[in-house]
Structure formats: structure tokens, C-alpha cells
Amino acid sequence: MESKPQRQSEPEDSGHQDPEEGFTWSPKPLSELTQADVQRLAAPALRIFHHVADAWQLNADQRRGLLGADSILGIEQIERVSLILGIYRNLHTVLPASADGWVHRPNSNPRFDGQSALALMISNGLDGIWLVRNHLEAWAQGE
């Protein structure tokens, strides 16, 4: 049995300059999000998630399986949406013409065991989403 994928560590908080807005902001690591942060992020996260789910033509069961919840978002769902957005972005970088269909196609990579990325993410939850994200991140970087 293959071991679970390793999650990438969160980057050091270096702050980001936004020259157009004239301020510096520093994103919080997920582990430091408060309930107020989650409530503030929930609506935009759901909009992003449904945009990606629409592009991928996911049905209601697939959406629930991928999000790991029906409608109430917590820190884990915010993490899932963040990772899914990264997957979506990387797919459109490496496969611009067929990005949205890729998640449904069986994958010959040994880590996927012949499953589609969608099936792997749903069946393995957050660990599966991390595996797909790391796979595509390496692919996008030419590794």
C-alpha cells in the first residue's frame, strides 16, 4: 500500500505588496484562521468552487464529495477550495485546450491507480486533493 501524499508546508509569511492599492497584506496560514475568517471567506469560496464545478460539469453528488460538505463551510472546506482552485489554474496552464475534461479521464500515473483525478479526490478526500494538486504543480513546473 502506498503511503499518503505529503502535504507541502505552508510558505513563510513574507507579506505581499499591492502597489495599486498602496498597502501590504499578509495571508494567514489555514491553521490560524478564526471562525470569523471562515465566515468571511465562505461566500467567495463557494462562488469559486461552483465556478470550477460548473466548468468541470460536476453533478450534485460529485460536488458534495469534492467539497466534503453540503453547504456549511469550515476550515477544511476553505482548504479544499484553495487546492481545487490551484488544480484548476494548473490544468489551464498545462492543458489549455482540454483542461476541464482532464479530471474525468482515467489517469495512467501510478499514484492514480487508473482512476480519474475526480474519483481519486472524492474517494481520498483532502489527501487525494493534495495528491492531485502536487502532481499538477510539478507538471506545470516541468518536473
- Does residue 6 lie in a domain region? no
Q: Which long-range contacts (CB under 8 A, 24 or more apart) does 116-125 make?
A: 117/87, 118/56, 118/58, 118/62, 118/66, 121/65, 121/66, 122/62, 122/65, 122/66, 125/68
Q: Is residue 23 part of a domain?
A: no
Rounded CA gap, 43 and 49, in Å?
A: 10
The whole domain housing 77 covers 33-140
Report how many domains make up the chain.
Answer: 1
This model's pTM is above 0.85:
no
For residue 21, tell me if it sits in a domain.
no
Name the residue with higher pLDDT: 17 or 59: 59
How deeply is 121 buried, as exposed, middle or buried, from its count of CB atoms within 10 A (0-12, 13-18, 19+)? buried
Residue 66 falls inside a structural domain: yes
* pLDDT confidence of residue 7: 44
Residue 90 belongs to some domain of the structure: yes
Whether residue 65 lies inside any domain: the answer is yes
Helix, strand, or coil (residue 23):
strand
pLDDT by residue (tens digit) across 126-141?
999 999 999 999 988 8
